[in-house]
């Protein structure tokens, strides 16, 4: 049986998008209550009936959360232009080694806008 598990995380952070044109509202410093979905996919292990314990996902995401929560994202290496797209890929590269079943990272920047990244 093939399944997809989704574990959600939230963090608060400020950023600005310096590559946008002068006058664009997102070029100015502002903040978001980000919501991140970590999605893993694979075959259920028949011996325990699970693909993966959610705690494994939480443990893998914990150092990422510590690095992002209540920060100015532009000051983090690799996030100098922290668009949702860049942030999703940045998270992916940190989680993929610990979560080989990683299927997607979904970054919700607002309640109506998100980016789905599935690797290159």
26 has catalytic annotation: yes
109 has catalytic annotation: yes
Active-site choice (24, 70, 80, 85)? 70
User: Which stretches of the chain are DSSP H helices?
Assistant: 54-68, 84-95
Cα–chain center distance at 23? 28
32 has catalytic annotation: no
Active-site choice (12, 26, 80, 85)? 26
User: Reading across the β-sheet that carries 113-117, which strands appear in turn?
Assistant: 71-72, 2-15, 30-43, 102-110, 113-117
Q: How far apart are CA 116 and CA 104, in angstroms?
A: 7
Q: Any idea what the Cα angle at residue 80 is, between residues 7 and 27, rounded to 5°?
A: 95
Active site (catalytic) residues? 26, 70, 109
């Amino acid at each position: 049986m093939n399944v997809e598990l989704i574990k959600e995380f939230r963090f608060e952070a400020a950023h600005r998008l310096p590559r946008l044109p002068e006058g664009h509202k997102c070029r100015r410093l502002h903040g978001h209550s980000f919501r991140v979905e970590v999605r893993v996919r694979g075959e259920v292990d028949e011996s325990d009936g699970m693909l993966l314990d959610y705690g494994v996902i939480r443990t893998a995401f914990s150092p990422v959360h510590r690095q992002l929560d209540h920060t100015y994202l532009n000051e983090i290496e690799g996030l100098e232009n922290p668009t949702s797209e860049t942030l999703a890929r940045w998270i992916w590269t940190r989680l993929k080694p610990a979560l080989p079943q990683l299927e997607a990272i979904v970054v919700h920047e607002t309640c109506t806008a998100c980016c789905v990244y599935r690797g290159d």
